[in-house]
Structure 1
Amino acid sequence: MQKIFFEIQIDAPREKVWEVLWNDITYRQWTTAFTEGSFYQGTFDEGSIMKFLDPNNNGMYSRVEKNIPHTEMKFLHLGEIYDGVETEQDWGDATEGYILQETETGTILKIEINTPEEFQSFFEEKFPTALGIVKNLSENQL
């Protein structure tokens, strides 16, 4: 398992950054960095299952481990989805966490990922672009 960290300063309040991360419309915009047409199904309630999908119904499903509004969201990744069929994976403690820290000028968004080694380069390549989009949306949308 590999631990990866990303961080970006955003000149917007935590509430705005949170909205950009988890609102359906803006989620679809910033996740284009990973796959064009990405979307989610489910609710962000702690303990619930979320599906993160592409337009072909491929992706993964995860359990919401933590949801502290405007502060922290954490997912435990459970398995893959191909053609809409869920297949459990033995990824152990594969997690993805989003932590928002208020600063004098806005918010620091920290991403903490615990991932199997085969996904490390994908995250390292794609996440900086995704965070740039989150920053732009947070700072420039009404």
Structure 2
Amino acid sequence: RKWTGAFQEGSYAETDNWKEGSKVLFLDGKRNGMVSQVAANRPNEFMSFKHLGEVKDGVEDTTSEKVKQWTGGMENYTLKETNGVTELQVEMDITEEYKDYFANTWPKALEQVKALSEK
């Protein structure tokens, strides 16, 4: 939960497991966020999520016109090691509406990931 606070204070992921095909809710403290699916999980190498919709006050929406604009968007995390240094690469499909937000927020989140991984 520490590194995701850069996106929304108190945000977290909720799932029964992290296996491919599993549902994942990415939520804030008010149970608002996104409903997604684990598209791929190769431990210590690659993790991919397919975004299916949003969650508002704990209710999932996968069918509204607003959600359909970005349903199916992917978010990928890749770990690569070179000369004993591990690099985390993030790839994310986003709509133009959120481009500036993520351009400003991802660097803060990745600094938190770096700090946590170096402890």
Match of 1:35 in 2: 8
CA distance in 1, matches of 2:104, 2:42: 28
Name the TM-score, length of structure 1 as normaliser.
Answer: 0.76
Q: Report deviation, 1:93.
A: 3.5
- The 1:76/1:69 distance shift into structure 2, 3 A limit, reads same
Say whether 1:47 aligns with 2:26.
no
Taking only the aligned residue pairs, the percentage that are identical comes to 45
For residue 105 of structure 1, the aligned residue among 70, 78, 84 is 84
Match of 1:62 in 2: 36
Match of 2:55 in 1: 81
Q: Judge conservation of contact 2:52–2:72 (CA < 8 Å) in 1.
A: no
Q: Judge conservation of contact 2:5–2:11 (CA < 8 Å) in 1.
A: yes
Structure 1 runs (4+) deviating above 6 angstroms are none
- Kindly provide the amino acid, as one letter, of the partner of residue 30 in structure 1: W
Over aligned residue pairs, what C-alpha RMSD do you find?
1.0
Higher helix residue share: 1
CA distance in 1, matches of 2:101, 2:19: 27
Gaps of at least 5 residues in structure 2 are none
CA distance in 1, matches of 2:10, 2:31: 10
CA distance in 2, matches of 1:83, 1:123: 23
- Kindly provide the amino acid, as one letter, of the partner of residue 57 in structure 2: D
Higher RCO by CA contacts (8 Å cutoff, separation 6 or greater):
1
1:91-102 equivalence runs, <5 A: 91-102=70-81
Name the TM-score, length of structure 2 as normaliser.
Answer: 0.91
CA distance in 2, matches of 1:63, 1:40: 12
Q: Report deviation, 1:92.
A: 4.2
Q: For 1:74, what is the secondary structure of its paired residue?
A: strand
Gaps of at least 5 residues in structure 1 are 1-27
Aligned residues: 113
